[in-house]
Every structure is written in C-alpha cells, then in structure tokens.
Amino acid sequence: MNRIAKPLLASAALCAAAALSPANAEIDVIHLKPAIEASVEADYPKLDALYKDLHAHPEVAFEEVKTSAKLAAEMRALGFEVTEKVGKTGLVAIYKNGDGPTIMVRTELDALPMEEKTGLAYASHDKTVWNGQDTFVAHSCGHDIHMASWVGTAKTLLGLKDQWHGTLMFIAQPAEETLSGAKAMLADGLFTRFKKPDFGFALHDGAFAYGSVSYRVGIGSSNSDSLEITFHGHGGHGAAPQRTIDPVMMAARFIVDVQSVISREKDPTEFGVVSIGAIHGGTAENIIPDEVLLRGTIRTFKPEVRAKMLAGIERTARAVAAMSDAPAPDIRITEGAKAVINDPGVVETAAKALKVAFADKFRPSPPLTPSEDFSEFVNAGVPSMFFNIGVYEPERVAAAMNGTGPQLASNHSPQFAPVPKPTIETGIEAMTLAVLSAFDQHARGK
C-alpha cells in the first residue's frame, strides 16, 4: 500500500473519534473533507498519469486486456486481493478491514469504436476491428475518468481505514457500452465466488459543471433495447430503378416514418426515443444493392411505453417493405439493460454527507435518458446509488446555457474532453463520502 501523506494522517487522527461517535447523527463531513482533499492532492499526479495513459490507449468491449491489467496492478499495490478475468476481462478487488458490510464500487473498462477529435496532447489514436471493420477507439464516454476516480477512491478509503469496518469490493466491469459486461460478470459467479455486497455505488460523468454532483431517487436511467432491421430488395443499375426493389429507399422511409411512433402513438408526457446509429448497404454510387441493414437503439422508462414502441417499430418496418412490394424485413430487437433504480435508503444516507460537502452543487436531477447495465447488479438484489459528476468549467457551462458561448460536447461526441483534475477530484470525494456514509449507517443500524 502507498504511504499516506502527512496531511491526511493528521486530519484523519483529528476526526477519528468524532466521525464514528454514536452521538453524531451522521459522519463528520466537516472534518473528513480536509482529510479526503489532502489525500487526493497527494495522490493526484499518479492519478493524472494513469488517466492520461488510459485515455490514450482505450480498448473496446471484452478487449480491455491491457486496461484491466493496469487497474489490477494499481489495486494490488494498494493491498487489495485481486481476481482477474471475471466475466472475461473484468476484475474484482477485495480489501477486508474487520467485521462489517461489504460495499461494492464499480467502474467500467471499455471505450467506444469512434475517432477522437479533441486535439488533446494525450488524445487516442488507437484502432481496432469492430463489427468486421477497422475503426478508431476513444474514451468519449468518460470511462477513463471513472477508472481514475475508482483507483483514487480506493487509495483514499484505505488512508481512512480507521473510520470504517467491513469489506471493500471494487469491481472493474467490461463491456458497459454494449450493455453486456455486467451480465457476463454475474454469469461468471460474481456474487457466488465473492460475497454479495450489502450496498453498491457507481458514478458517471456528464456535460455539466465540474465540482457538481447530481443524483436521483428511484429511476435513474432508461431501459434499452437494440434494434437491427434488414430490408431486402432486388438490386440493379441506378439508372434503371424500375427494374429493382430499392432497399435504400425502404431504409430511408423507415427512418423517417418510425418517428411517428414517437410523436403520434406514444403519450407525449412519457419518455421514449428511437435512434438509428448505423446504416450499411451498397458498394458504389450507381448500384442499387440487394439489402440494407439498419442498427439503432430504443430507450424508455416504463414497460408499457416500451411495449407500444416495439409494436409500432415492427409494424412500421413491415409496412415500409409492403409499400415497395418487397419481402418482409428481418427484424431483431434485443433486450438490453433495464433502468437503474436507486435505493431510497442508500440515497438518503449518502445525501446527508454529500449535501454538507457540496452544498448547492449537490442537487437532484431528472432520470438519465441513456442506459446503464449497472442495473444488472441492482436487479440482483444490491441496494445501490448511481450518481453523476460534471466535467466542464462552470463559466463555460453557464455561457452555453445562456447562449453566449458554444454548445458543450456531450458524452459520445468526438469532441468530449473533460477537465481532468477537478472532475477526478470530485469523483473521489463524492464516492469516498458515499461509501463512508454507508459503512457508518450500517454500524448505527446495529
């Protein structure tokens, strides 16, 4: 384990008795905050180097071999018992500190099959093969921020281990972007080979001001389904379309018409989105192909909205083909992640500490419209909290919101570029306090 900075030792010693005193209503954030900040400041140069290395060398789902190895080395150096290759490329790091609850903290490992265009000195230029095609790879969703915060939280909690008793279960999950990594870890015995945690935490970053933390009680993210449709036609010369059945036309008509399912069939007060992210078909400008493949996603919060949308999507696809006198399309809708449901009790406990630490920068937010397979752990019976941290300068965010500055690049944009230090610091402080509050609440419950 790394040596703890002197400021951290001093601060921790000052608050050791007070923080866990039964007379207090909650953990003593006023004293813990300086200790946490001192720990992060002392460790940050190494965390910054780790973050930039991860950012520059991303790996896509289930190929995170080097990424996982880097995190495994970090956690072993801290004194965690590390098990690799859980769910193919995932890892589990355990640290036992006496009797008490087991608290899980999750990070993601994978990156996106896309090109980064930030121009950063540590930008990714790596490539891989994705769905049979060469592609760039980038951490444009911010998982590298999560990993650095995850390691930093582990370091900080060990520096404060006289403040808590129990077991830390830090998991690094593969393939979040394909919504399949959590299932893979569970199928590989995550909660049978290792003790099922009593509480779970995870964070995500987003395009709002750094230093801010947002949270949600109840529904925290959307349900997700993946959509794949192949329209079959009859290819031929682009100059003689009358001799063909044009699947490109069918695909184009479907992309437009399917939005009427959202605007005219779904209750406008309920959330639902269909997005087509990939179109594959044809080889040359003067050849009408035999078929076109579409890939997309379907997002909803409620089961009844999901059912209506799925029925409308299938009906629209078949109608489009029938209009062109074409064969029926191949339609495949694959269920992805369920909505993350934050546990009210876990959120309430953590919120007491986070409100003290972040004041008006800790605030509730609407549910996230993207999806998260952290829900797999929640649905396996782990009471959890999933929260969000900002990544951009507050002034820049304010300018974008009032129209005096450019729009902010959001997650999955090739321009997404978090400001590392304050973002990672916020992630560590918020996650550390959330975990400490859960340990403390469990101790008081006994």
Q: Which two tokens stand for residue 154?
A: 């582990």
Sign of CA dihedral 31, 386, 97, 66: negative
Q: Crossing angle, helix 247-257 and helix 303-323, to 10 degrees?
A: 150
Q: Which of 208, 138, 226 is nearest to 368 (CA)?
A: 208
pLDDT for position 11: 37
The neighbouring-strand residues paired with 134 are 129
For the segment(s) 223-335, the CATH number from 3.40.50.1820, 2.40.30.10, 3.20.20.70, 3.30.70.360 is 3.30.70.360
pLDDT for position 170: 99
Task: Report in angstroms the alpha-carbon separations of 18 from 21, 37, 50, 429, 434.
Answer: 5, 18, 34, 19, 18
Residues 6+ apart with CB under 8 A from 229: 251, 254, 293, 294, 317, 329, 330, 331, 332
What one-letter code names the amino acid at 137? Answer: V
pLDDT for position 444: 83
Phi, psi of 349 (to 5 degrees): -65, -50
Sorted by where each begins, the domain ranges of the chain are 6-221+339-445, 223-335
Residues of the chain with pLDDT under 70: 1-25, 446
pLDDT for position 7: 35
Same fold: 6-221+339-445 with 223-335? no
Q: Which two tokens stand for residue 58?
A: 């991303």
Give yes or no for a contact between 20 and 443, defined as CB atoms under 8 angstroms apart: yes
CA distance 114 to 42: 34
pLDDT for position 390: 98
Just give the CATH number of 6-221+339-445.
Answer: 3.40.630.10
Other beta carbons less than 10 A from residue 368's beta carbon = 20
CA distance 441 to 383: 13
- Give the strand pairing for 362-364 and 213-215: parallel
CA distance 110 to 66: 11
Report the predicted TM-score, pTM, of the whole model to 2 decimal places: 0.85
Q: Using the 8-state DSSP alphabet, how is residue 21 labeled?
A: -
